[in-house]
Structures are given as structure tokens and as C-alpha cells.
Structure 1
Amino acid sequence: MATWADVARICLALPGTTEVSSRGGRQWRVRDKGFVWERPLRKKDLAELGPRAPTGTPLAAYVPDEGAKAALIAEEPDVYFTTSHFDGHPSVLCRLEALDVESLTELAGEAWACRAPRRLVAEHRLVEERGPR
């Protein structure tokens, strides 16, 4: 089970990432572009989700496209979900309490890569491929 402390640790380990507070929640940004954020559910969201609504604050993350979002939701509907607010938007909501740390690391890394400048992504991948020296 992942926690918000895990989210902060994992996101801040990615190059060029900062944590900011916006609209009462935390966001993680790369070069001032948000890629992961706290997304409290609104009344409309709660009405849409009904009993499927999570009890805690969901985590929202960018994904490469709508296909990736649909695949995540289809594969693990107990973890990933969306609301009509995010229709047409390449981001997914997830129940943090149902997400393991490994999946969170993968989700955050992919979200970061979706929003980071290409050069920064390429440099990061080069460092990862080389491994520690």
C-alpha cells in the first residue's frame, strides 16, 4: 500500500521535480508542468461514482494518452478509475491505498516522462541505462 509520503519521495527523486501546493492540495511538477497531484473528489464525482468512490483522496497522474488510461482502468478497476471531469484528458485517478509502491513508481515515472522536456527525459534514461558508477 502506497502513501502520500511514498508519492513525495518517488516524485521528488525524478529530475527537475518540485512539490507545490495548489488549490489546497499537493502537486508534483517538472519544469512547472504538473504530472502527479492530489485530486479530491467533488460532489459531481461522488454522485457519478456512487458506492465505488474511494474513501481517501485519489491521486491523479498524467498518462501518455486515452488508450493508456483505458488500459489501466480495464486491467485494474479496483485501483484506477476516472470521472466525466477527465473525459478527453490523458490522466487517470487512482486509489492510493490500493496501489503498491512498485506500481506507484512506474506510474509516477511515466507521468513525469509525459510532461518533462524531451531532453531531460533522454538524459534521465541515459543515466538509468548506465547505472551507478
Structure 2
Amino acid sequence: MVTVAEVRALARTLPRTTEHLIRDRVKFRVGSIVYVAFSRDESTMGFGYPKEERAALIAAEPDLFLLPPTADLRFNWVCCHLDRLDHGHMTELVSEAWRMVVPRFLARQRLGQ
């Protein structure tokens, strides 16, 4: 199980990340682009993920991943249940979501990609 505190600890290490509390929801963003957000009850985490790949991700692990609310389907976004997420998987998902919103040179410096 992953907590908001664990995600916060990772996000704080990612360059240009800022944390915001918007409508009682914790969100992490780079500039104005949100790359990770939590539900109000902190039971689910939404994160940036390529739209064209999300159906395969959800199909591979339907107990863990779910589609975002209808209003967010137009975005590169997927959600997951925090109580079913392990730390290693969280690290990968958050890092990749961050990579999607920063300049390529910064992602290469941080993640070596």
C-alpha cells in the first residue's frame, strides 16, 4: 500500500515540481500541468499516462487501474487504487508522469532517458 506521504517524498525530488491543495485534493504539477492528483479521500491516485496506452494498462491489471472520471477522459490520464499499489510501481508511474510534462533535457538528466 502506498500513501500520499510516500508519493510526496518522491515528487519533492523531481525538479520543477510544486505541490498544491486544490478543492481539498493534493496535486503535484510542473508549471500549470498536473501530473499526479489524489482523490479527496486519498484512496485513488490519478497520473499522467498516454491515452493510446491506457486501455492496455487497465486490461493488464483491472484490479489496480481504472479509467478517470468521464470529464478527464480527454486528457492523458489514468487512475489507480492506492491500497493495491506497491512502492516500486508507484515510483515508476509517478516518474513517468513527471517525464511527460518536463522538457526532454530535464527528463534525460534525471531519469537517463
**Segments ≥4 residues shifted beyond 4 Å:** none
Matched, 1:69 2:54: yes
Checking the alignment, whether the CA contact within 8 Å between 1:15 and 1:124 is kept in structure 2 is no
- Residue in 2 aligned with 1:91? 77
Structure 1, unaligned runs of 5 or more: 42-55
Cα 1:107–1:127 change in 2 (3 A) is closer
Q: How many equivalent residue pairs?
A: 111
State the TM-score, normalizing by the size of structure 2: 0.85
Cα 1:109–1:87 change in 2 (3 A) is same
- Residue in 2 aligned with 1:60? 46
Structure 2, unaligned runs of 5 or more: none
Over residues 102-131 of structure 1, what are the superposed CA-to-partner deviations in whole Å (9 max), with x where a residue is unaligned?
111111111111122x2xx423423544xx
- Residue in 1 aligned with 2:27? 27
Over residues 57-86 of structure 1, what are the superposed CA-to-partner deviations in whole Å (9 max), with x where a residue is unaligned?
31110112x122112101111110014333
Give the SS at the match of 2:27.
strand
State the TM-score, normalizing by the size of structure 1: 0.74
Query: Between the two proteins, what is the percent identity of the paired residues?
Result: 31
Larger radius of gyration: 1
Instruction: Compare 31-40 and 11-20 and name the one that shifted more.
Output: 31-40
Write 1 or 2 for the structure with the bigger share of helix. 1
CA RMSD, 1 decimal: 1.9
